[in-house]
Amino acid sequence: MELTSTAGLAELSTAEQLPALRTHYLQAVHLGSGRAADRVVEAALDLNFTANQLYLDIFQPTAYEIGRLWQRNEFTVAQEHVATAIIEREMRDLHGYFQPQSACGRTLVLGCVEGELHRVGNRMVADFFEQAGWTVFTPDTAVSTETFVAMARDMNADLIGVTAQLVSHVPLVGELVRALERQGLGGIPVIAGGRPFVQHQELHPSLDVKFCAGDAAEAVRRANALFPERT
Ligand code: B12
């Protein structure tokens, strides 16, 4: 499979570039070729797409497409595992692009609920908050309610972020909110992400979760709006 050259992409209109990049990226990860996927990332950067756009306009829709194709048996479990590993490795490679300009003096404690293995979106949220100047503490994985509470207390969290992608994991978000209240930390707002929250907008208020967001950029915008500027 031939990958469109950067020169070829440059000849497309801006509106055509993104779908072309996405198509080539999906093909690359479907083949399990990290090198081909890297060439798409390099081409996008050459075309002045930002790392933020790579995350939200290429990696995230590609992951969703993989989920759709996986359900239709057009992506095997093994192909999905390799594709996700490529996305995660490229996110580590792009981490330098998420350097903050300046610190905003706020701290986010972030993680996935216990048993939750979907961590790619959680990591994206971490990178976007860091770029916006937040101090982010995250184990990059699932944590027990007890550990979440300890992290919130020990790291002086201004905000707590939690991912639950499976419907069966949603009650754990409510459990976290109640555990924080029991420990006198109920004043710290909790925000959540994951498919169930996006699909059922009535869910987060019922759990005393401040807001949910469908992507990392929206999460940062809404979090910044919760806090008045510190001077
Ligand atoms: C990759 C993947 C996996 C990988 C995850 C590996 C990893 N390292 O993360 C593995 C193989 C482990 C996996 C396992 C399973 N998976 Co899976 N998986 C996916 C897939 C294809 C992509 C997920 C992804 O990477 N998305 C990309 C990221 C960037 O998007 P995101 O997670 O939505 O994150 C964004 C927003 O949600 C938001 N956000 C996320 N977190 C937070 C937190 C806060 C605080 C805020 C504000 C916002 C926010 O911002 C993020 C960035 O912009 C999805 C398909 C899909 N449509 O999501 C299925 C999917 C999520 N999986 C699904 C299922 C069913 C499973 C399994 C049960 C399968 C099985 N039978 O074993 C297991 C459960 C594992 C577990 N215990 O958690 C279903 C879930 C259905 C549901 N909601 O109930 C999906 C939707 C697939 C499908 N179409 O059916 N999976």
Give per-residue pLDDT as tens, 144-189: 999 999 999 999 999 999 999 999 999 999 999 999 999 999 999 9
Nearest CA to ligand 1 atom 22: 63
Per-residue pLDDT at 74: 96
CA 148 to chain centre: 18
Mean pLDDT of 185-202: 97
Q: Is the Cβ–Cβ distance between 108 and 134 less than 8 Å?
A: yes
| Nearest ligand 1 atom, CA 85 | 8
| Nearest ligand 1 atom, CA 191 | 45
Closest to 210 (Cα-Cα) out of 230, 186, 231, 229: 186
Give per-residue pLDDT as tens, 72-116: 999 999 999 999 999 999 999 999 999 999 999 999 999 999 999
Q: Can you name the residues that pair with 107 across neighbouring β-strands?
A: 135
Nearest CA to ligand 1 atom 91: 118
Task: Write out the E strands in 84-222.
Answer: 107-113, 135-137, 142-143, 159-163, 190-193, 211-212
| pLDDT at 215 exceeding the cut of 60 | yes
| pLDDT at 231 exceeding the cut of 90 | no
Nearest CA to ligand 1 atom 89: 67
Backbone CA torsion sign across 178, 218, 202, 227: positive
Nearest CA to ligand 1 atom 31: 121
Q: What share of the chain is helix, strand, coil (3-state, %, to 5)?
A: 60, 10, 30
Question: Percentage of the chain with pLDDT > 70?
Answer: 96
Residues within a 6 A CB radius of ligand 1: 56, 60, 63-64, 66-67, 70-71, 80-81, 84, 115-122, 124-125, 161-163, 165-167, 191-196, 213-216, 219
Which pTM value belongs to this model?
0.97
DSSP string across 102-130: S--S-EEEEEEETT----HHHHHHHHHHH
Give per-residue pLDDT as tens, 107-150: 999 999 999 999 999 999 999 999 999 999 999 889 999 999 99
Nearest CA to ligand 1 atom 34: 121
Q: Provide the 8-state DSSP code for 57.
A: I
| pLDDT at 19 exceeding the cut of 60 | yes
- Which amino acid, 195? R
Q: Going from the N-terminus, what domains does the chain have, and what CATH number goes with each?
A: 6-98 (1.10.1240.10), 107-226 (3.40.50.280)
